[in-house]
Amino acid sequence: MKDNGFNSLDLKQAVMRGIKEMGFVTPSPIQAQAIPLVLGGHDLIAQAQTGTGKTAAFSIPILNRLEKNGDIEALIITPTRELAMQISDEVFKLGKFLRIKTVCVYGGQSIRRQCELLDNKPQVLVATPGRLLDHLKNGRIANFEPKIVVLDESDEMLDMGFLDDVEEIFSYLPGSRQTLLFSATMPDQIKYLAQKILDRPKHVKITPANITNTDITQKCYVINEGHRDEAIIRLLDVLTPAKSIVFTSTKREADALCERLIQARYKSGALHGDMDQRARMDSIRAFKNGKINILVATDVAARGLDISDVSHVFNYHIPLNPESYVHRIGRTGRAGRKGMAITLITPLEFKEFKKIQDEVKHSLEIEELPSFDESHNQFVQKILKTKISDEAMGIYTDLIDKSDETNGILKLISFMLQMGLERKIGPTQKEIDKLKNQDKHRSSKERDYRGYGRYHRQEGYRGGRRR
Ligand code: AMP
């Protein structure tokens, strides 16, 4: 196993084989820093986002330390079902040659089924907080003394209101354990929790600046409120992304946009917390295997999902904070691939977005939306290249039979054009230039894009399309 950057970590042969099978050659920065510390038995606070290889950063040393003594030796707590399954899958694959068993425990699955799986004596248990606490309170996990406990996505657990559950879970765990806390950000509550549950922890940190790296091109487009759908469609038309995630702020928005995209003939699916488990898994699976190539998702549902070949991330609104921005755009540009992150901002959101960009140390670049002609051209090209189904051909032939031929063709073309023309939008060139100039000439304190909104009203601007 020459030339493998993992060699120097002194791992068991079986673990090295698992790493090789996964195709990992060089440890990622978080792995290079965290693995030796975990192998050395230290408690750890690791500040790292998804996409950095953090799952393997804790899974590899955990696997290396397993004794297979018939007990559950490691517990990994993570906020969502999808993440639990993803982690369990990665641990299982890395541990293939150790022949280990993992069990995943999360809400919404039959308790009896989970008890049967737990009776199978897995070495690694991956769980979401609520259901795990339920099992513990009801004494359904026998002799539960994991020697390594991982808290994954701790800040997300805080956001989702799981921190009390997490603390209570720790009251059931042995004091002699090794604890690893992973979090993208370190809000005060997480620092406080860390003080309570960790013992003289070591710290490792992969900063956002490392993440929003040159592999991800970041752009923003100024639009007017009410034109978000059309802007997304126009950008999709012109950029023709291979695989993209569009982040919306609310579940309702995710459903509405997804429907709109489907109407516009885009293969899209929604992913949010109001969907049942099966529907969520269906969307993720369809996105992974290419049945759909646009996922319209809310933050929570898409957090931490490992889909490696996302080419574009769209922010339908600006995210709430820099952390969310980093998380979202980190869905693309993974594993050394190039990615593009696009944020739609209204003039009113401009200031707020600038703050986010300052925080992630990226200079704000305002792009112009593709012109109507550009996007329309692409749209027509797309139609011309589309393979017409037999069914559509049948309807078309019928149409021609029913009318005289010229009329039929004309109607069809007009219909297609109308569909294209409905893709309106955006501020005019003049307005974008004005915004750019305002930004250049005013000090940051003076910038107030509310004036921009007034300008629209004075001019009688109605958000019509650019031609
Ligand atoms: P994570 O941050 O755990 O979500 O991991 C992101 C992706 O990187 C996953 O698909 C991992 O399988 C992959 N990955 C993790 N470690 C490595 C590595 N050392 N080399 C290449 N890919 C990796």
- Rounded Cα distance between 38 and 34, Å, is 6
- Domain CATH for 104: 3.40.50.300
Q: Could you tell me if the CB of 28 is within 6 A of ligand 1?
A: yes
* Ligand 1 pocket, mutate which of 22, 87, 327 (most atoms under 8 A from CB): 22
pLDDT in the model for residue 1: 42
Binned at pLDDT 50, 70 and 90, residue 175 comes out as very high
Compute, in angstroms, the gap from residue 80 CA to the centroid of ligand 1: 19
- For residue 407, give every residue at least 6 positions away whose Cβ sits within 8 Å of its Cβ, in sequence order, or none: none
Binned at pLDDT 50, 70 and 90, residue 438 comes out as low
Binned at pLDDT 50, 70 and 90, residue 379 comes out as low
Domain shared by 78 and 16, yes or no: yes
Identify the burial level of 459 via C-beta atoms within 10 angstroms of its C-beta, where 0-12 means exposed, 13-18 middle and 19 or more buried: exposed
Average pLDDT over residues 231-254: 92
Identify which has the larger pLDDT, 56 or 458. Answer: 56
Domain shared by 44 and 11, yes or no: yes
pTM for the predicted model, two decimal places: 0.61
Q: Of all protein residues, whose CA lies closest to atom 12 belonging to ligand 1?
A: 53
Q: And the tokens for 174?
A: 């042995």
Atom of ligand 1 nearest to the CA of 55: 3
Average pLDDT over residues 338-349: 88
Compute, in angstroms, the gap from residue 56 CA to the centroid of ligand 1: 7
Q: Could you tell me if the CB of 308 is within 6 A of ligand 1?
A: yes
Compute, in angstroms, the gap from residue 54 CA to the centroid of ligand 1: 7
Identify the burial level of 393 via C-beta atoms within 10 angstroms of its C-beta, where 0-12 means exposed, 13-18 middle and 19 or more buried: exposed
Compute, in angstroms, the gap from residue 136 CA to the centroid of ligand 1: 31
Q: ∠189-192-194 over CA atoms, to 5°?
A: 110
Domain shared by 223 and 240, yes or no: yes
Compute, in angstroms, the gap from residue 23 CA to the centroid of ligand 1: 10
172, pLDDT greater than 80: yes
Q: And the tokens for 284?
A: 């993720």
Domain shared by 168 and 70, yes or no: yes
Per the structure, the complete domain to which residue 153 belongs is given by: 6-206
Domain shared by 336 and 231, yes or no: yes
Domain shared by 62 and 163, yes or no: yes
Which of residues 342, 376, 410 is at a domain's end? 376
Q: And the tokens for 6?
A: 């993992």
pLDDT in the model for residue 408: 62
Q: Could you tell me if the CB of 56 is within 6 A of ligand 1?
A: yes
Which of residues 206, 226, 255 is at a domain's end? 206
256, pLDDT greater than 90: yes
Q: Of all protein residues, whose CA lies closest to atom 18 belonging to ligand 1?
A: 24
Compute, in angstroms, the gap from residue 105 CA to the centroid of ligand 1: 23
- How long a stretch of residues is the chain? 467
Q: Of all protein residues, whose CA lies closest to atom 13 belonging to ligand 1?
A: 53
Q: Name the least confident of 97-111, 222-236, 304-318.
A: 304-318
Which of residues 327, 356, 376 is at a domain's end? 376
Domain shared by 200 and 313, yes or no: no
Domain shared by 88 and 158, yes or no: yes
Domain shared by 296 and 179, yes or no: no
Number of domains the chain is built from: 3
Average pLDDT over residues 298-316: 81
Q: Of all protein residues, whose CA lies closest to atom 19 belonging to ligand 1?
A: 27
- Rounded Cα distance between 250 and 256, Å, is 10
Tokens 């997804």 belong to residue: 258
Q: Of all protein residues, whose CA lies closest to atom 5 belonging to ligand 1?
A: 53
Identify whether 1 is part of a domain.
no
- Rounded Cα distance between 325 and 211, Å, is 11
Domain shared by 261 and 178, yes or no: no
- Rounded Cα distance between 266 and 348, Å, is 29
Q: Of all protein residues, whose CA lies closest to atom 21 belonging to ligand 1?
A: 24
Q: Could you tell me if the CB of 53 is within 6 A of ligand 1?
A: yes
